[in-house]
Amino acid sequence: MQIKTRLTLQFLMAVAPIVLVSFFFIYYSSAKYRKDEFYDRLEKRALTTVEFLAKEERVDTSLLKVIDRVQKDNLPKENVTIYNEFNKPIYSSNDSTSFAFGSFVFKEIKEKSPVYFMQGDYEIVGLTYSHNKQKYTVIAGALDKYGLSKLNNLRNTLFFLFFYL
C-alpha cells in the first residue's frame, strides 16, 4: 500500500468519528430544543385558554371556541381541553381531535403538574390551574409537523455532509 493511501486512510479513521460524534450532538441538541420549544408553546396555549375561561366573566365556552377558531397561530390538530375538579370536560377547543385518558393521568397531572407525554403522534402537556377556589385540569396536545419536518431536513443534511463531502 502506498504511503499516500495509508495516510489518507489514517486521516479518515481519525477524523470520521469526530465528525460523526459532532453530527450526533448537533442532531440531539436540535431534537431536544424542538421538543422543549413545542411543549413550552403547548403549555402557554393551555394557560391562555384556561385563564380566558376562568378569569374573564364575559367569556363563555362558545365565545372561547370562536376565539380559538380565528387565531392564526393554532398548531396542527391542536386541542385544548379543560376539565373541572371532578375530571369532567367543560371546554374543548377542537371537537375533531380528542385524547383518551384514564384516571391515572389526571392523578399524575394533579401531583406533578406540568406533565409531558405522547399519545400516538400527538405531543401533550397536562397541567393544573386554580382561580377563585376553582381547580381546573388542562390538557393540550397537537402535532409538531413543522418542527419534525425541520428535524428531518437537518438529519438529511447531516447525512449528506457526512457521506458526500
Looking at 3.30.450.20, 3.30.200.20, 3.90.1300.10, 3.40.50.2000, the CATH number of the domain 3-164 comes to 3.30.450.20
Domain ranges of the chain: 3-164
Going by C-beta distance under 8 Å and a sequence separation of 6 or more, which residues neighbour residue 115? 105, 108, 109, 125, 126, 127
pTM for this entry: 0.84
Q: How does pLDDT run along the chain (165 residues), one tens digit per residue?
A: 799 888 888 998 999 999 999 999 999 999 999 999 999 999 999 999 998 888 877 667 777 777 777 676 778 889 999 999 999 999 988 877 778 888 889 999 999 989 999 999 999 999 999 998 899 999 999 999 999 999 999 999 999 998 886
Q: Which three-class secondary structure state does DSSP give residue 53?
A: helix
Q: Are the C-beta atoms of residues 79 and 142 closer than 8 Å to each other?
A: yes
Q: Are the C-beta atoms of residues 114 and 125 closer than 8 Å to each other?
A: yes
Q: Are the C-beta atoms of residues 109 and 124 closer than 8 Å to each other?
A: no
- Give the per-residue pLDDT at 27: 97
